[in-house]
């Protein structure tokens, strides 16, 4: 059973003990409602570190005024059971008041890559992300932190923050874990009704259609975009965004031909039970053998 900490000072004492014992520390930050995608992050951490710490904290600072903070799923005991099954040693699950005491007045802000893609539609979101992640990183003092590729922009923002502020924690991005039909695992998938879940399969199909053409040698953005949009239109969907951007610099949108490592990112609202569920996903388009295998797996799942 992992040790569960709810207070900062208790958690810090635990971390200090691990440091004294010269244990390497892996850290997996989460907002709970854990699934197999989180399990993969924890599994990789436990295989690479002496001690793995998982945080469970639904961060109010990264939710907008009209977003789903209050109804975000909270499944603490199930989360701890999964964490235990993956072999992690500790859980840090503070209250909002513990994380942000009354006099808390600091914000961490990364500019440039936070104003595009999700940032263009969720003002202030990434400031909330970078603030809480920096705070958690300072508490965990980990050698490595594990994040999922599904949240690709978030990973790039955190990498930029770590680079600029010369933080010692290394950021490890783990490939997206997908369901049978290719849908990326997400805590928000549980909001989908059975009918909405079927419609949501258009999201991985849209990415897979572009990936298939890319692997066949097509680099033209207009043709790749058309293939993606055709899959969405079969379900009557219009994406919030569907964009090709340079992996090395997300501020650069690619409009002509792919000439270097590129991410195709999508955000799509799915109607479900009278509300809208926002799903995000992405694929990295390059000819790296490992990434090619990931693309082929997505294509196989989406069009099986």
Q: Catalytic residue positions?
A: 38
User: What DSSP element (H or E) covers 281?
Assistant: strand 275-285
- Contact status, residue 219 vs residue 259, Cβ threshold 8 Å: yes
d(CA 100, CA 94): 10
β-bridge pairing 262-272 and 275-285: antiparallel
CB 144 within 8 A of CB 47: no
Enter the tokens of residue 159.
């990498």
Residue 5, classed as helix, strand or coil, is strand
**Residue among 31, 95, 97 at smallest CA distance from 68:** 31
- Closest by CA to 291, choosing from 238, 247, 249, is 247
Distances (CA, A) of 58 to 192, 228, 258, 294: 20, 33, 37, 30
Strand duo 262-272 + 144-148: pairing: unpaired
Task: Give the separation between CA 176 and CA 147, rounded to whole angstroms.
Answer: 10
Distance between first and last Cα of the chain: 39
Is the four-CA dihedral 226, 227, 228, 234 of positive or negative sign?
Answer: positive
Q: Is the dihedral of CA 285, 116, 207, 27 positive or negative?
A: positive
Is the CB of residue 266 less than 8 Å from the CB of residue 207?
yes
């Amino acid at each position: 059973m992992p040790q569960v900490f709810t207070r900062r000072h208790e958690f810090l004492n635990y971390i200090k003990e691990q440091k004294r014992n010269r244990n390497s520390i892996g850290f997996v930050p989460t907002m709970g409602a854990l699934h197999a995608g989180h399990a993969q992050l924890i599994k990789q951490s436990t295989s690479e570190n002496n001690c793995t710490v998982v945080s469970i904290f639904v961060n109010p600072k990264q939710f907008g005024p009209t977003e789903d903070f209050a109804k975000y799923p909270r499944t603490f005991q199930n989360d701890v059971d999964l964490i235990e099954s993956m072999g992690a040693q500790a859980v840090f699950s503070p209250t909002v008041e513990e994380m942000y005491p009354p006099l808390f007045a600091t914000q961490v802000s990364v500019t440039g890559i936070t104003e595009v893609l999700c940032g263009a539609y969720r003002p202030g979101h990434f400031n909330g992300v970078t603030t809480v992640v920096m705070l958690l990183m300072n508490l965990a003092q980990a050698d490595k932190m594990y994040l999922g590729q599904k949240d690709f922009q978030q990973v790039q923002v955190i990498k930029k923050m770590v680079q600029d502020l010369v933080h010692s924690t290394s950021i490890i991005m783990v490939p997206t874990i997908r369901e049978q039909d290719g849908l990326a695992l997400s805590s928000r998938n549980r909001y989908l009704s059975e009918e909405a879940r079927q419609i949501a399969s258009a999201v991985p199909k849209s990415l897979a259609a572009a990936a298939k053409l890319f692997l066949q040698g097509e680099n033209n953005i207009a043709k790749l975009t058309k293939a993606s949009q055709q899959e969405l239109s079969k379900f009557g969907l219009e994406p919030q965004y569907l964009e090709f951007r340079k992996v090395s610099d997300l501020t650069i949108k690619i409009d002509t031909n792919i000439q270097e490592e590129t991410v195709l990112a999508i955000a799509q609202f799915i109607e479900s039970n009278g509300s809208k569920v926002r799903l995000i996903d992405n694929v990295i388009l390059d000819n790296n053998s490992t990434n090619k295998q990931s693309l082929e797996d997505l294509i196989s799942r989406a069009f099986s």
